């Protein structure tokens, strides 16, 4: 076949794909008989209301000398690992505010960190395009530094995000600027699977976030600068289970909803969205202007343990607490007393859901908990 | 790795515009692109078929409501029990909120 003929077929195939996408979009729209807020209102639900001293900052973790970019809690109660522009990981006991480890990284340009399920290791990644694993029980070297216990090499671009597969310290999933996600076997240092990339269908721009399903660890979602989120089954690397369209800008963060059947996203378009993994439906858009028609990008999100609250950090320093059911902002942590003095770049809930940790460009981490009167029903 | 696609042009349109009429070196590239589009077509057709039998959004909304309202949540002012006393550990004991302030240099 000649080049000219190939090009003709290419144009025809493009038209087919575009027309199918349009039909899909319309069919999906016809199935959206309600959103979460519409349904909740129809059931007579009313928004969560917080008193002025209900959610309070009860710890400020100081020690980083640069912007905090990432944080992760352990699966047992109280420890946090954080990564900073200062080229270090710090491991904290959030209850006592003590630092248990300060790890100087071989490459200072770190973007992400994660705690292993047993709490014995931490992982990080960044502009060096590798994931570095540190065993917290190792002896320090002669310079007082914790040695790297494993380097996971193979990405052809920066490592933007990483998370351990639950229940084992042996597998990690990373997302990268090379447009792929990778499932790693930490024991061997090898890639078990590559999701997307040059020879497989996948993201068409940088992957900037990943989130693993805690109830079914074979499933994970990825968020990308191609404006989509994708759901993957680790047994099937050749294609995504589903691609979620809707955002109009980079999807900066993805997080599974506590029930494992939905996930949330945050984007450069200033909105958060809730998607259903089984049907692919976009169930809710969380959008509110911040004043003066300002629509700052969403950089980080987290759900409370029941899913009733969605915490979202924006580039203008706001940290909205959304009532997920009614799609209403019920609090702005960014405007509370004792809050951060710069953008909140990362958020995470403790394993029992009793505390929220925020990490900020002001170099601090803060712990927030409910200090008001609790009514049990 | 080359990044395809800009914000405003679809990846396929951009690639098409970069082909010149006499560019026979690009033949394999166009062929690979075509294969990818044909694969995408099959995926999209499958998805359309699935959508014919798909539930409405309201089913999922019902499930979300049920879950979010029954699970105990320590950050909510009103929540289902049981109350766990460990939830309040953040307010017990020495409350040195500044804690360890050593700077790592």
- Chain A residues close to B8, C-beta within 8 Å: none
pLDDT tens string A315-354: 999 999 999 999 999 999 999 988 999 999 999 999 999 9
Are B79 and A374 an interchain contact pair (Cβ–Cβ within 8 Å)? yes
**Whole-number pLDDT of residue B19:** 53
Would you call B47 helix, strand, or coil by DSSP?
Answer: helix
Strand A365-370 and strand A55-61: the pairing is antiparallel
- Give the residue among A26, A133, A53 at the shortest CA–CA distance from A336: A53
Q: Is A280 left (phi over 0), alpha (psi -120 to 50) or beta?
A: left
pLDDT surpasses 70 at A46: yes
pLDDT surpasses 50 at A360: yes
Q: Is A175 left (phi over 0), alpha (psi -120 to 50) or beta?
A: beta
Domain A36-370 has CATH 3.40.50.1820: no
Q: Closest CB to B36: pick one of A33, A59, A201.
A: A201
- Chain A residues close to B100, C-beta within 8 Å: 62-63, 96-99
Are A307 and B102 an interchain contact pair (Cβ–Cβ within 8 Å)? no
Range A124-153 average pLDDT: 94
Strand A282-286 and strand A319-323: the pairing is unpaired
Q: Which two three-digit tokens encode residue A61?
A: 């973790």
State the nearest Cα–Cα gap between B77 and chain A, in angstroms.
5
Would you call A95 helix, strand, or coil by DSSP?
Answer: coil
State the nearest Cα–Cα gap between B32 and chain A, in angstroms.
9
Q: Establish, for the pair of chains A and B, how many residue pairs have beta carbons separated by less than 8 Å.
A: 265
Cβ-count burial A315-337 (b if 16+ within 10 Å, e if not): bebbbbbbbbbbbbbbbebbebe
Question: What number of other Cβ atoms are within 10 A of residue A199's Cβ?
Answer: 10
> What band does B4 get if pLDDT is binned at 50, 70 and 90?
very low
pLDDT surpasses 80 at B18: no
State the nearest Cα–Cα gap between B65 and chain A, in angstroms.
7
Rounded distance between C-alpha atoms, residue A123 and residue A113, angstroms: 5
Which of A262, A306, A310, A353 is the best residue to mutate to test the B interface, defined by the most B CB atoms within 10 Å of its own CB?
Answer: A306
Are B58 and A24 an interchain contact pair (Cβ–Cβ within 8 Å)? no
**Whole-number pLDDT of residue B30:** 87
Rounded to a whole number of angstroms, the distance between the first and last alpha carbons of chain B is: 37
Would you call A85 helix, strand, or coil by DSSP?
Answer: coil
**Whole-number pLDDT of residue A7:** 87
Rounded distance between C-alpha atoms, residue B74 and residue B84, angstroms: 8
Would you call A60 helix, strand, or coil by DSSP?
Answer: strand
Residue of A nearest to B81 (CA): A376
Range A90-112 average pLDDT: 96
Range A83-89 average pLDDT: 97
- Under DSSP, the state recorded for A47 is -
Quick check: ipTM above 0.85? yes
- Give the residue among B36, B50, B52 at the shortest CA–CA distance from A17: B36
C-beta of residue A296 within 8 angstroms of C-beta of residue A290: yes
Are A98 and B100 an interchain contact pair (Cβ–Cβ within 8 Å)? yes
Lowest average pLDDT, out of A44-53, A122-131, B2-11, B54-63, goes to B2-11
| Partner residues linked to A211 by β-bridges | A221
**Whole-number pLDDT of residue A293:** 74
Q: Which two three-digit tokens encode residue B21?
A: 């009429």
Q: Closest CB to A32: pick one of B1, B21, B57.
A: B57
- Chain B residues close to A264, C-beta within 8 Å: none
């Amino acid at each position: 076949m000649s080049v000219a003929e190939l090009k003709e077929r290419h144009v025809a195939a493009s038209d087919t794909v575009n027309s199918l996408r349009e039909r899909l979009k319309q069919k999906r729209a016809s199935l959206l008989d309600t959103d979460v807020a519409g349904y909740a209102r129809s059931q007579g639900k009313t928004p969560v209301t917080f008193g002025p001293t209900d959610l309070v900052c009860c710890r400020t973790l100081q020690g980083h000398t640069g912007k905090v970019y990432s944080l992760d809690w352990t699966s047992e109660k109280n420890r946090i690992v954080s990564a900073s522009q200062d080229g270090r990981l710090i491991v904290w006991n959030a209850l006592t505010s003590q630092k248990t480890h300060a790890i100087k990284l071989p490459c200072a340009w770190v973007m992400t960190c994660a705690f292993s399920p047993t709490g014995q290791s931490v992982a990080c990644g960044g502009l060096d395009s590798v994931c570095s694993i540190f065993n917290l029980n190792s002896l320090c070297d002669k310079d007082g530094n914790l040695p790297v216990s494993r380097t996971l090499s193979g990405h052809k671009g920066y490592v933007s995000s990483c998370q351990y597969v639950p229940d084992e310290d042996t597998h990690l999933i990373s997302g990268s600027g090379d447009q792929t996600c990778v499932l790693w076997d930490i024991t061997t240092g090898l890639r078990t699977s590559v999701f997307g990339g040059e020879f497989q269908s996948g993201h068409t721009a940088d992957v900037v976030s990943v989130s693993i399903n805690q109830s079914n660890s074979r499933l994970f979602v990825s968020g990308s600068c191609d404006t989509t989120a994708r759901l993957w089954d680790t047994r099937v690397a050749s294609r995504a289970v589903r691609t979620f369209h809707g955002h109009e800008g980079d999807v900066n963060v993805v997080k599974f909803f506590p029930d494992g059947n939905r996930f949330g996203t945050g984007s450069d378009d200033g909105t958060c969205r809730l998607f259903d993994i089984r049907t692919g439906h976009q169930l809710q858009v969380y959008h509110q202007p911040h004043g003066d028609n300002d629509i700052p990008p969403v950089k980080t999100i987290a759900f409370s343990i029941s899913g009733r609250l969605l915490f979202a950090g924006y580039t203008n320093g706001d940290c909205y607490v959304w009532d997920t059911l009614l799609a209403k902002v019920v609090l702005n942590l960014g405007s509370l007393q004792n809050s951060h003095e710069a953008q909140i770049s990362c958020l995470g809930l403790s394993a029992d859901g009793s505390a929220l940790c925020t990490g900020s460009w002001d170099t601090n981490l803060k712990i927030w908990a409910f200090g008001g009167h609790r009514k049990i029903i | 790795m080359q990044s395809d696609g800009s914000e405003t042009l679809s990846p396929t349109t951009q690639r098409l515009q970069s082909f010149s009429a006499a560019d026979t070196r690009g033949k394999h590239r166009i062929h690979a692109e075509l294969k990818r589009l044909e694969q995408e077509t099959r995926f999209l057709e499958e998805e359309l078929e699935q959508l014919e039998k798909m539930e409405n959004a309201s089913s999922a909304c019902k499930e979300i409501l049920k879950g979010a309202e029954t699970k105990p949540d320590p950050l909510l002012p009103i929540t289902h029990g049981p109350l766990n006393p460990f939830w309040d550990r953040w307010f017990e004991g020495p409350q040195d909120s500044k804690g360890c302030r050593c700077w790592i240099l």
